[in-house]
Amino acid sequence: MRTAAAPLRASKQTTLQRTLTSSLNELGVEAALVAIYEREDGPLVAQGWRGLTPREVQTILRTLSAQDLAALSLPAPAGDDESLRAVRLRMITPGAKSLLGVPLRHNQRTYGVLVVGRKESAALAKKEKSLIEHAGSEITGALERAALFDGTLILSRPLVAHEPAPTVAPSGAEPLAPTPSHATPETQERIAGLLDETAATLPFDYAWVTRYDPLAGLVEVLGLAGEQRGEHKKDFKPGHRLALDASASGWAVRHRKPRVDHDLASTQGRFQDHKHLYRDRFRSAMVVPYFVRGQVGGTVTLSSKTPTQYTLPDARALEPLIVKLVELLHEPASPQAVRTDEGTGAATPTPPAAPAPSEPMIRRQERQAAIGEFSAFLATEVREPLASIRAQLQEVTGEGILDFDPQTRVENAMRDLIRVEAILNEILDFAKPLELNRRVCRITDIIDNTLTVVATELETNRIRVTKDSGANLSQVRCDETKMQQVFLSIFKNAMEAMTPGGNLHIEVAQHKGGRGYLQIAIKNDGAPIPTEHVGKVFEPYFTTKRTGTGLGLATVKKIVEEHQGQISIASGPGQGTTVIIRLPILVPRGGPYRGRGRGYRPRRPR
């Protein structure tokens, strides 16, 4: 079913293209681009250009989205009403060595950006900037004369017309770590009901809703509607997670705009969600992102076995569904109300509330919540633009169009950018919930494997390693990779504290009191930790290094505690620093563990 506004939008789109083409031809520059905000808080969409290839246009739009577009949206300084803010783009294209972006404004609102470029790399003069700003005013006037500022195509209202007020977590809430999955049975049932209601307006054979997790960098399927026949339906169900770069839903999240596909045979090799549809002989699909407070909240996907079932204007018909969907996803948990027994009418009082958490627990929850919010901001507003910038730099260096000196400067910038991305990924990895792949391990083997990794550094610094482990040590159930990361971080910190020729002593002992545990003591004779810093070394973002992030020992503590273990540190003048880790031992059924091939075995009679 097509929306009633589709013919009007098509007519306005034709008028917009004709007006912008005429304005760009009169501009008299070597390269130019006009990008428009079709929707409030939406992405920039290229509407007209000259002197640039489509690939260059997309590169410029990615660069603009990576910069601070809010600076372009600010009004002109007081007393300078005729001047507009301009931003020079820090990039080059084969068609333009110098690019300048100027905001397009109408009634004190920024509705787009005009980008002009020239082949010379010299900066644009003040007079040239004034002419470009005047050209932007001419474009605005032409669009106004064409009656295009009526909200149909330029700055139309967003898909989410209103948003519910943010809910306040109850005072006795559990720790605020992100839940592993949002696809609860109640959510699945209600989303299926909303999708079934939508089928009367926009028919489909199969549909689903996803939620975007910026920390993990993926989308998760929350609910499904319709029947997907075939042997692959069990592979795609609520709770299924899709990578951003391997799914059509991820494409809509990254580009912040709807997507329609009529040839699933050509996209099923790229997109995991299209692969399921193609195998069950679906012919067309549409993915529409929904927004929450200007950020992508997730996607809605409709698919049909009818060819060319959907067009981009059909995305507007999903607005009622998206409004209800956002309300559902932000609905507060129902309180423990008074329950009435059937037949008697007697009210059963609610159980007494759990005691309030202690002050240290509250502070830990607040700190964890702050880390989660900050990490979500970094994932959406920093990591994605950095990846776009790095991809553009790689394209420029790979094309071989730069001279030696500019090529060297770009490569140096790429190295710094890669370092920033590594630090950012470390921060985001710390904020994500820890997933352990536990199996039965010998802790001494993990320590030996870690020492092999740092063997060259130990030999270079002439550090002597001594080990003392008890006999018949029990095994532990742990994630070998994560525990190796723990020991590697401790060993590297010890080597940084020690001078060449130092001693590193590792002692592993077993304590059988209570449930029993292994104690690993790692002692170095290097410079001690200052007394005022001993209690802070495990806190996130605390560091005394000039280039550190303060997450090394914080991550170590997080991993140890996820293994139901404990970690502590002791340091003082003349005694160096000792890190003590305690891990619960694995007690197998049928008695204590005995090593394979050990002990006396009676000889069988012949």
CA 18/CA 321 separation, integer angstroms? 34
Query: What stretches of 392-548 adopt beta strand conformation (E)?
Result: 439-441, 464-469, 476-478, 503-511, 517-524
CA 113/CA 50 separation, integer angstroms = 15
Name the nearest CA neighbour of 515 among 561, 472, 564.
564
Out of 3.40.1160.10, 3.30.450.40, 3.40.50.261, 1.10.287.3510, the CATH code matching 185-329 is 3.30.450.40
Secondary-structure class of domain 439-584 per CATH = alpha beta
Does 226 have pLDDT greater than 50? yes
Per-range mean pLDDT, top range of 92-106, 163-177, 194-208, 562-576: 194-208
Q: Which CATH superfamily is domain 6-145 in?
A: GAF domain (3.30.450.40)
Range of lowest pLDDT (32-46, 115-129, 294-308): 115-129
Q: SS3 of 451, please? A: helix
**Average pLDDT along the chain:** 75
Model confidence at 587, pLDDT cuts 50, 70, 90, reads low
State the pLDDT at residue 284: 92
Contact 83, 108 (CB under 8 A): no
Confidence label for 303 from pLDDT (cuts 50, 70 and 90) = very high
302 pLDDT tier (thresholds 50, 70, 90): very high
Hey, which of 135-149, 344-358, 589-603 has the most confident mean pLDDT? 135-149
DSSP state of 90: S
Give 216's DSSP letter.
T
What's the confidence (pLDDT) of residue 353?
42
Residue pointed to by tokens 């428009």:
36
Question: Would you give the distance in Å from CA 143 to the centre of its chain?
Answer: 38
d(CA 523, CA 580): 9
Distance CA 202, CA 314 (A): 8
Residue 493: both structure tokens together? 């910190």
pLDDT at 553 over 90: no
Q: pLDDT tens digit string along 306-337?
A: 888 898 888 888 888 888 888 887 655 444 43
- Amino acid at site 538: F
Give the 3-state secondary structure percentages of the chain, helix then strand then coil, rounded to 5.
40, 20, 40
pTM of the model as a whole = 0.39
pLDDT at 154 over 70: yes
The per-residue pLDDT for 172 is 39
Let me know: does 538 contact 557? Beta carbons within 8 Å. yes
Task: Tell which residue, 156, 172, 130, 171, has the closest CA to residue 12.
Answer: 156
* Structure-derived torsion over alpha carbons of residues 538, 543, 548, 550, reported in degrees to the nearest 10: 30
Asked if 504 and 465 touch (Cβ cutoff 8 Å), the reply is: yes
